[in-house]
A = this chain, B = another copy of it.
Amino acid sequence: MTTPEEPPAVAARNLCGMVNGLAQRIADHLRERAVALGLTAPQATALREMTGPMTMRELSERMGCEPSNATFVIDKLEGLGLVERHAHPSDRRAKHLVLTAEGAATRERLLELLAQDTPLAVLSPEQQYVLYGILKQALTGS
């Protein structure tokens, strides 16, 4: 019954579960570092994605959530004094999210913590590069 010449098919059955498992491990890693800074995981995610001023919609897309969820999370970060909602320079419908000085400092500390002991650190540079190529193809569909 064993078919040594066809291992890919067997392996593929659990691939989705393995991707989810790895994503969950990454999420746990993030949550751990977030609480060390007094943040929740979603708050840390938002902070991590705040590479610069952006709209609510752009943030929600970067976070991979609904805009109304971004509203909820930004409410918290604004309450913590880490983010401010400014008027958008060219579109009065939109808000311009900007980090406060404390928000920028917290973000820097967060990025440092996130860079430590990544769940992917057990992979060699070569493996990481191969993984990058495969993920890129899976995500772009090309």
CB neighbors of B among A12-69 (8 A): 12, 14-16, 18-27, 64
- Cβ of A1 under 8 Å from chain B: no
The residue on B at minimum CB distance from A126 is B8
Asked if residues A135 and B64 are in contact (CB atoms below 8 Å), the reply is no
- The answer on a CB contact under 8 Å between B64 and A8 is no
Residues of chain B within 8 A (CB-CB) of A72 are none
The copy count of this chain in the complex is: 2
Q: Does A87 contact B (CB under 8 A)?
A: no
| CB-CB nearest in chain B for A49 | B17
| Contact B15–A20 (Cβ < 8 Å) | no
- Sampled A-B contacts (9; CB under 8 Å): A12-B129, A18-B135, A19-B26, A19-B135, A23-B23, A119-B138, A122-B142, A130-B130, A130-B134
